[in-house]
Amino acid sequence: MNSYKELEKLFREIGALEEAESILHWDMSVMMPAGGAESRAEQLAVMKSTIHKMLTDPYLTTLLDEAETDPPVNLWEAANLREMRRSWRHAHSVDGKLVAELSKASSRCEIIWRDARPRNDFTAVSGSLSKVVELVREKGRSKASGIGVEPYEALLDQFEPNIRITDINRLFDDLAEFLPNFLDKVLTRQIAVGGFIKPEGPFNLAAQRDLAAELMERVGFDFDHGRLDISLHPFCGGIPDDVRVTTRYEENEFAQSLMGVLHETGHAMYERGLPVDWRLQPVGRARGMTLHESQSLLVEMQVCRGLDFLTFAAPLIQKAFKGKGKAWLPENMEKLQRHVEPSLIRVDADEVTYPAHIILRYRLERALIDEELEVSDLPSAWNEGMRALLDVVPNNDRNGCLQDIHWFGGAFGYFPTYTMGALAAAQIYSAACKANGNITSAIAEGDFMPLMSWLKENIHSKGSFGSTDEILVGATGIPLGTEDFKSHLEARYLN
């Protein structure tokens, strides 16, 4: 037991360093001047190396071995010990020199991408991306050897513990069979029922920010423990007690930014709801990115694009932009939000075509890691994949393979969790509404408390106590599947 308590102390220190690293990443994306890039890359590399050294220290290894010979009786402590070993296993599988080298390469590549994307210049970043991919391949091989899986699965495991390629293929193959025919039905129905009236801009940027902040607070976001800022790529960062949400604004379009903010607010609410008693311990972290993405997509897609929420929000939106006419009515707003159209940009895609964007990225990043695709061939492979999956082709790389930050920042294995999160979101929201019949009527009044209370009890507060499927079974009665998602799409888009 003394060994376990000493481990808690060490992992609290590791957790504090990881939180500091998260804030440094946020600052790099939001506040840091361009001239700070090299210094920041060095800072982050040192931070990662320090954490890696702590995790691979022989003393920590001895403590783990001792604690596992006489594991804690308390179930949360036992789960924490299991997650400590998982962190140790990932760290021990990779050499410290590679950790530092990949951190520097990813930070530099991300900075170059921030300049290259607006200029539509893939050539400017392709060399840096090739270096990142080379190092990620090495990391995947090292982790695969230590964990006992394929290299790409080892990268997946960083974001979604214990997921396997066969699990993803089972879910994605089901969707790939269902969605093309369903999309045809939806597009045919849209023509029959008529279109929406698009609200006319310009939409004042300060008004957009104020509206976003007001709706964030309605969802439950606490600005005493978080911020809303601007970045090139919207994200939620920071730490549970200091959550950082970012978005980007367009003067001629408000809905994309607003829905993006609500999406990131779902992430923020998950972070804020994690078990307070286990802050800075591995078991107190979010279980994985499938559940994390489920919380953002539940807020954005399941709730905020539905008529219940828009009944409440439409008058606020109209007031914010001084709008007049039928374009601002809830029914028209709902038509606007459920409009389906194959498009180029993932973050702006509707929920019917969105899985195709993820399936493409899943296939491409697997091919990159398995050395079946080189970075120089990525633009053409991307365009061919978009044509095959959605029958649209980017007219430039800015709208193609340059659009996402993930690969340029070294994050390979993350993309599948977006669509797995969408599946989980439909499953969780269905279960929540069945458990509490007041959720939808409360949302129509702008009251998210019934929903958030249920989510905190059944999802957020579980941290990493169980696996993703164990948490889902506890909350919904079944492991992750596609049926609730397909039922949701049919109810929203064909009825």
Q: Which residues are catalytic?
A: 264
Rounded Cα gap, residues 472 and 154, in angstroms: 23
Q: Where are the alpha helices (DSSP H) in 338-448?
A: 354-369, 378-390, 416-435, 439-443
Rounded Cα gap, residues 226 and 237, in angstroms: 10
- Residues 6+ away with beta carbon under 8 Å from 251: 201, 202, 203, 204, 205
What are 229's strand-pairing partners?
246
Strands 242-247 and 236-239: antiparallel
CA nearest neighbour of 432 among 268, 296, 302: 302
CA nearest neighbour of 132 among 471, 462, 374: 374
Rounded Cα gap, residues 135 and 74, in angstroms: 40
- Residues 6+ away with beta carbon under 8 Å from 262: 212, 215, 216, 219, 299, 300, 304
Contact, 137 vs 373, CB < 8 A? no
| DSSP result, 342-371 | --S-GGG--TTTHHHHHHHHHHHHHHHHTT
